[in-house]
Amino acid sequence: MNRFNEFMERYFMPVAGKLSEQRHLKAIRDGIVATMPLLIIGSIFLIISSPPIESWSKFMEPYAPALSIPVDATFGLLGLVAVFSIAYSLAKSYEMDELSAGVLSLAAFFVATPFTENGNIPLNLMGSEGLFIAIVLAIFTVEVYRFFEQRNIVIRMPEGVPPSVWRAFTALIPGAVIIFAVWGIDLILKNAFDLSLHGVVGAVLRQPLEAMGGSLWGAIIAIILIHLLWSFGIHGISVVASVMAPIWYSLTEQNVAAQQAGEELPHIIGQPFMAIWWAVGGSGMALALTILFVWRARSKHLKGLGRGSIWASFFNISEPVVFGSPIVMNPLLVIPFILAPLAVGIITYFSMSLGFVGKPYVIVPWTTPPPFSGVLTTGDWRGGVLMMVNILIAILIYYPFFRLYDKKLVEEEKENASASAAAADEE
């Protein structure tokens, strides 16, 4: 274990640390997170229009078209909102004019978007299909803007001009270059190859990444990486989601579209699966461990920690357990901390793929407690049952490791008490 820790600290941790602080990945993560309120609101309307209760579902059928409008206005604008928010976040990290960067990236996004034969905006490209080109154009826009600003190739206004005015003029030259470049590339692709930027980015980035991120193996790798990072004190989901969140959201939006159309859901892996199902109580299925602390712990430390953190775990907040136990750098708890969510993720995946439980398509706040999150994300009451079974499985995985650690702490507490008593007698 010491050799493994040395290897991780020397080779893995520096890379993970740099990834967690990498400017562009942080901007992508923050930009995607900015869409969360819209997606949760859209999910509420989706639950109302497609409820898990059959009688209620039939009652809501006449109202489904009207209820789909807020769903389309939230999930259907994922790419459009993301291009602005990612550019805004990246420009902010550079201490540039965030609003100008966001507006220019939005304009570049529309320039790259092929209109329909009737001259209308294709709504499908505003949603998840446009998410990856939104990321590319947001980064391109900010970096070009920064290039011109750093070299002072901008229009400067005299002192006394209101900030809103001089900012607009500062963005003129880089903005013109950005729009011209995107338009020119799109024009060449269209005339020479009958392609569009959306199509090229989709073929090069979106389709391969979705195939990888939407697979069971992709989910397994992500789960292992997340918990390895947590084991060394790094917020694992923040690092991994910086890369994978666009893929998970895109897959979820495709499930939403299929649900609205009354078709079979195409994906199991998506944002609800990766944010909720293997993280009941927080990363590592921490609720299972907290239950053991409260129910079976004999050491004062774990008993007190369990009582103090049980409600936080119930709402999927795992930090008190991760750092209080501690799980970080603790071989006895790191092993089940990785095994429990891995086992639960695999069981959940096959339960959904075999049709025992519905596939997840609803995005809920990550603090939604079990088993309600299981029912809401799938629209299936059996989702709640599976979630409770998963908690039981996680408890069984944690139990032998917990017993060893609890026994070790009890012995240490007895030794400390004896030492304190001996010191008191000497006084």
Within 232-327, residue ranges assigned H as helices are 236-260, 271-272, 286-296, 300-314, 319-324
* pLDDT score, position 71: 86
Predicted local confidence at residue 8, as pLDDT: 58
Element housing 347 (H / E): helix 331-353
Asked if residue 6 has pLDDT above 80, the reply is no
* Encoded tokens for 412: 């240490």
Q: What does the pLDDT read at residue 350?
A: 96
Which is more confidently placed, 303 or 417? 303
pLDDT tens per residue, range 142-183:
999 999 998 888 887 777 667 667 777 888 899 999 999 999
Establish how many alpha carbons lie within 13 A of residue 279's alpha carbon, considering only the half-sphere containing its beta carbon: 27
Question: Is the pLDDT confidence value at 310 over 60?
Answer: yes
3-state helix, strand, coil in the chain (%, to 5): 75, 0, 25
Q: Is the pLDDT of residue 307 over 80?
A: yes
Instruction: Read off the pLDDT band of 349 (50, 70, 90).
Output: very high
Give 146's DSSP letter: H
Residue 285: the pLDDT is 94
Entry pTM: 0.81
Q: What is the pLDDT of residue 401?
A: 93
Average pLDDT on 217-245 reads 86
Find the mean pLDDT for residues 59-87: 87
pLDDT of 118 strictly over 90:
no
What's the pLDDT at 423? 60
Residue 1 burial (CB count, 10 A): 8
- Has residue 203 got a pLDDT over 90? no
Can you tell me the mean pLDDT for 18-45? 84
Contact by Cβ (8 Å): 238, 26:
no
Looking at every residue in the chain, the average pLDDT score rounds to 87
What CA–CA distance (Å, rounded) separates 124 from 85? 19
Q: Looking at residue 75, what is its pLDDT?
A: 87
Tokens of 322: 């991760």
pLDDT for residue 1 is more than 60: no
Q: Which residues of 94-113 are buried (b: 16+ CB within 10 A; e: fewer)?
A: bebbbbbbbbbbbbbbbbbb
Measure Cα distances from 296 to 281, 392, 411 in Å.
18, 14, 16
Output the pLDDT for position 295.
Answer: 92
Q: Are 67 and 45 in contact (CB under 8 A)?
A: yes
Task: Give pLDDT tens digits for 47-64.
Answer: 887 776 666 777 777 887
The two three-digit tokens of residue 307, written as one number:
């009582």
- Given this model, what pLDDT does residue 17 score? 65
Mean pLDDT score, 209-235: 88
- Across the range 348-372, mean pLDDT stands at 93
Q: How far apart are CA 67 and CA 60, in angstroms?
A: 9
- The fraction of the chain above a pLDDT of 90, given in percent, is 45
Residue 216 to residue 306: CA distance in whole angstroms: 33
Task: Decide which of 124 and 97 is more confident.
Answer: 97
